[in-house]
A = this chain, B = another copy of it.
Amino acid sequence: MNATRAKLMAAAVAVLRDEGMAGLSARTVAARAGVNQALVFYHFTTLNGLVDEACRQTVDDSVEFYRTRFAAVDSLVELLHAGRELHERERAAGNVALMAQLLSGAQRDDVLGDAARYAMATWNREIEVVVRRVLATSPLVGIADPAGLARAVSASFLGLELYEGVDREGALAALDALEQLGVLVEVVDDLGPVASRALRARMRRTRRGR
């Protein structure tokens, strides 16, 4: 694979992480890559074309990295631990900030829109498999919706990352509170069969009541 292409894609990701969509231009990216600005258009036709490819590859790499880790998860406790580890690691790598900026820019541009849809779908597909497997042995099976939960989790992480950009302490407090709620689900998960049955009956009733 071409070395300049790779340098430009890495630089595009770096600029989006550090400066956001507002700081992105063919010139800022090229300067970061240490190459000439015209090469952006030679290799990727348009600036958004570069962002598109760069984001897709970043997501593919991340998801690939976690595939084996996810495969080992088969209980809610393990899922909470894996989720925390994933979040810490992705955050440190700046990948969540990257996604947030991509989604933000995607509201206006169709190319970025496709890239954003691809990124979210790739993550959601992976998360949904794990959530589905974990829920299978939980009292919540048949009640909770794995596809919806997977989407809620990834979207919430995005929002938390945006928030962290302006208020780090507040975002950390939010994460702790969510982990707390995760523990609640964990406790429910550990209920005996009688309590489980009662809970499920109660939730079915509440659902119908809405």
Which chain A residues have a beta carbon within 8 Å of chain B's beta carbons?
A: 19-23, 97, 100-101, 103-109, 113, 116-117, 120-121, 124, 140, 143-145, 147-149, 151-152, 154-163, 165-167, 170-171, 173-178, 180-181, 183-188, 190, 199, 202-203, 206-207
Q: Given A104-B101, A180-B143, verify A120-B22 contact (CB < 8 Å).
A: no
Q: How far is the CB of A60 from chain B (nearest CB, A)?
A: 18
CB < 8 Å: which of B116, B160, B177, B183 contacts A166? B116
Chain B CB within 10 Å, residue with most, of A140, A143, A161, A167: A167
CA distance A108 to B159 in the complex (A): 17
17 A-B residue pairs with CB within 8 Å: A20-B105, A100-B104, A106-B166, A120-B167, A144-B180, A144-B181, A145-B173, A145-B180, A148-B175, A148-B176, A151-B177, A152-B160, A155-B159, A158-B162, A184-B185, A187-B199, A188-B188
Number of this chain's copies in the complex = 2
8 closest residue pairs by CB, A with B: A159-B159, A148-B177, A104-B104, A158-B159, A151-B174, A152-B174, A156-B156, A148-B173
Do B187 and A203 touch (CB < 8 A)?
yes
Do B20 and A108 touch (CB < 8 A)?
yes
Residues of B close to A124: CB separation below 8 A: 170
